[in-house]
Amino acid sequence: MNVILLGPPGAGKGTQARKIVDEFDFDYISTGDMLRKEVESASRLGKIAKSYMNKGDLVPDSFIVEMIVDNLGELNARNLIDGFPRNISQAEALNKKLTENQQKIAVVLHMNVDDEELINRLSTRAVCILCQAPYKLKSPDENLIVKCNNSPNKDCIIKVRDDDNPKSVARRITVYKNETFPIVKYYKDLNVNLVDIDARGTEDEIFQEISKFIVV
């Protein structure tokens, strides 16, 4: 069973992905996490990716596909795919891979949030630099030295991601609308089960709605 999380940056895909993985025992396939690991390791792909991410641009398909192939190997029976595909070309490449494995997409969860809410969320979003645990800041200039949830006995530094600055955020939303949103029509034309999720509620409310469409 393959479930895709689709939505703009800041829609809460990562948060809901963790809940789905924990509740339904899915394998988590996140291009965002894979990209950040590549960037942190300063690998060849990471250096290339960072130059695009810091400007709010999408990393070119050729590098994304290479990274996905390197990390996925053979798709398992139950996968949650977060952050991929991001454009029609990638969607076609994913369908080809699934077809080769005699699999299909069970459902696409399309998370909807208005632009104003997205900008507010992203400008106060931070992560622990050690474990990538997410934190919600009260304001962009809040104290960034905290007790990490995963390491309560340590003072950890949390930081706003480089690509979450206001200029990059606006650019990423525009790129999403131009490059990624057309995938909604692509999947509908293929008669893939695509459902719209109102992602403006609390984390638990959103998860309750998502859970209705995951049948394992």
Residue of 13, 36, 50, 121 marked catalytic: 13
Q: Give the Cα separation of 52 and 163 in Å (integer).
A: 9
pLDDT of 139 > 80? The answer is no
Q: Which of 36, 50, 121, 172 is catalytic?
A: 172
- The structural domain count of the chain equals 1
> Among 36, 50, 121, 125, which one carries the catalytic annotation?
125
Query: Annotated catalytic, 172?
Result: yes
Share of the chain above pLDDT 70, in %: 83
Candidate from 67-71, 99-103, 143-147, 164-168 with smallest mean pLDDT: 143-147
Q: What percent of the chain has pLDDT over 90?
A: 32
- pLDDT for 5 equals 94
Active-site residue 13, yes or no?
A: yes
The yes-or-no answer on residue 86 being catalytic is yes
Q: Evaluate whether residue 172 is within a structural domain.
A: yes
- Domain presence at residue 177: yes
Kindly report the backbone phi and psi dihedral angles of residue 188, in degrees, each rounded to the nearest multiple of 5, phi listed first.
-65, -40
pLDDT band at 74 (very low <50, low <70, confident <90, very high): low
pTM of the model: 0.73
Strand partners, 197: 111
Give residue 80's domain range: 2-113+164-211
**Using 50, 70 and 90 to split pLDDT, how confident is the model at 143?**
low
Under the phi-then-psi rule, with left for phi > 0, alpha for psi from -120 to 50, and beta for the rest, what region is 95?
alpha
CATH of the domain at 69: 3.40.50.300
The DSSP code sequence of 100-116 is: HTT--EEEEEEEE--HH
Q: Report yes or no on 34 lying in a domain.
A: yes
Examine residue 123 and state whether it is found in any structural domain, yes or no.
no
Cα 106–Cα 107–Cα 112 angle in degrees, nearest 5: 170
The whole-number pLDDT of residue 148 equals: 66
Is residue 135 over pLDDT 80? no
Residue-wise burial string across 65-91, b where 16 or more C-beta atoms lie within 10 A, e elsewhere: bebbeeebeebeeebbbbbbbbbeebb
How many angstroms from the chain centroid is the CA of residue 51?
19
Residue 159 in any domain: the answer is no
The catalytic position among 36, 50, 86, 121 is: 86
Q: Does 76 map to a domain?
A: yes
Residue 195 lies in a domain: yes
Which residues contact residue 23 at a Cβ distance below 8 angstroms, ignoring those fewer than 6 apart? 207, 211
- Please pick, among 37, 161, 171, 200, the residue that the annotation labels catalytic: 161
Q: Dump pLDDT digits (tens) for 11-43.
A: 988 889 989 999 999 888 877 778 888 899 998
Most confident residue range from 61-70, 134-143, 174-183: 174-183
Q: Of the ranges 23-37, 165-179, 187-201, which is most confident?
A: 187-201
Is 85 domain-assigned? yes
